[in-house]
Structure 1
Amino acid sequence: MRKGKRKSVKAVVKRFKRLDWGGWIRTLSGRHKKLWRKKANRKRRLRQHVLVNATQATLLDKMVTKYWKRPRHYINDPYAPYHTREEFVYTRRRALK
């Protein structure tokens, strides 16, 4: 018999990254496929990450456990600039001057 414990969906952990302020980012699909066929501006767009909307972020929060929601600190983290969101009033850490 199974336990009644929540488990994280492995596909969410693999495909998405949770930022410290609660947002989720992902890459665009097809970013490594048939690059010889795609124009330069499309390849540049595919290299970038996109934020998911609020409904998707709520759903992703339900699909992972508390372990994956904790902030992680890595050396030379490429996502370090995106972990703060000072321009938005609800996620601001420092007070307005």
Structure 2
Amino acid sequence: MLARVAESCRLLQPSATLAATTSSRSIARIPVWERHIRFDPAEGRKRPSQDVLDRFKRLNNGMWIRAVPGWHKQRYFKDDKWQETSVYYETCTKDECQMLDRMMTPFWLRRKHYPDDPYKAYHVRHDVKSPRVDDKGKFLRERPKVLLEDSVADVYFRDR
């Protein structure tokens, strides 16, 4: 009796593991760090998030800007200083820029050149190395590489 139960369990085991490995991913099972994935089944490729395109603007240096939250809500309640500064744009942080880049397709990450672009003065940043892209679109290192002679490297590093 016990041998028969063990044999039936052994026969069921491969099909159980097969069912576990071929389970489909539903929206509830997608982890938090992958929620940026938007897939278009008709075209078979990733599609950009329309919310990001509506609310943010990507500059050619890799930074994203956005409007001040609530700048158009109940403006008659706000004081003059707030009314003046609320029409300014805010820059996103480095982590926010990386997150927004992940939500876009390569088309939207390319440089865009528009006639009479109101953001033309902001596409190139001077004396700031934080966006990691220079005026030619090349990625910059955050910390320059240090090249040492072999004798100095042997004294201070044990990687060889």
Runs of 4+ in 1 over 3 A off after TM superposition: 89-94
In the alignment, residue 101 of structure 2 is paired with which amino acid? D
Task: Tell which has more relative contact order, 1 or 2 (C-alpha 8 A, sep 6+).
Answer: 1
Structure 2 CA distance, aligned partners of 1:87 and 1:77? Answer: 22
The CA deviation at 1:4 is 4.8
8 Å contact kept, 1:27–1:49: yes
Per the normalisation by structure 1, the TM-score is 0.86
- Please state if 1:82 is matched with 2:82: no
The 3-state SS of whatever aligns with 1:36 is: helix
- Please state if 1:67 is matched with 2:110: no
- Structure 2 segments unaligned to the other structure (5+ residues): 1-40, 137-160
- Please state if 1:93 is matched with 2:132: no
**Partner residue, 1:52:** 92
**Partner residue, 2:68:** 28
RMSD, aligned CA: 1.7
Structure 1 CA distance, aligned partners of 2:86 and 2:135? Answer: 31
Deviation string for 1:47-96 (max 9, x for gaps)? 000000000000000000011111111122111111001212454438xx
The 3-state SS of whatever aligns with 1:60 is: helix
- Structure 1 segments unaligned to the other structure (5+ residues): none
Per the normalisation by structure 2, the TM-score is 0.54
Q: Pick the structure with more helix per residue.
A: 2
Sequence identity (%): 31
8 Å contact kept, 2:61–2:134: no
8 Å contact kept, 1:86–1:92: no
The 3-state SS of whatever aligns with 2:81 is: helix
**Partner residue, 1:38:** 78
The size of the alignment, in residue pairs, is 93
